[in-house]
Amino acid sequence: MLNVAAAVIVKENKILITQRSKEDSFSLKWEFPGGKLEEGETPEECLKREIIEELNLDIEVQDYLGSYTYPYETGDIRLIAYKAQIISGNMQLNVHNDAKWVTVNEMKNYEFPPADTDLIEKLCREWRDQ
């Protein structure tokens, strides 16, 4: 199983989503920034490393939002999600095609990979209750 960490970066009640590059699997679909865990790395360490590499942002990893497993034809993926906040840096798209700040309700207007569906549903339920 492939373990992938995802950051739900929140600022002013909006969430940062990023668009995968044309060359990636799930070409041009939207996702929560993050990436694959390296050997011996915690999800929190992975997120800090990946967000610096991908977006030139230093983040504080906050609340654990859950773990979601999805069976792809190429193998199962476990998405491990955390809420996060930007500490410093100016966003720079090093691997993504685009990035947007969206409300939870606006997420339905963007196409995400199937593994993100359960996390999006959880976010919609939690934000609706606030």
* Burial per residue of 2-35, b for 16 or more beta-carbon CB atoms within 10 angstroms, e otherwise: ebbbbbbbbeeeebbbbbbeeeeebeebbbbbbb
pTM over 0.85: yes
Per-residue confidence (pLDDT) for residue 22, from 0 to 100: 84
Residues 33-60: tens digit of each pLDDT: 999 999 999 999 999 999 999 999 999 9
The structural domains of the chain, with segments of one domain joined by +, span: 2-128
Q: What class is the 2-128 domain?
A: alpha beta
Residue with tokens 């865990």: 37
89 CB neighbour count, 10 Å cutoff: 13
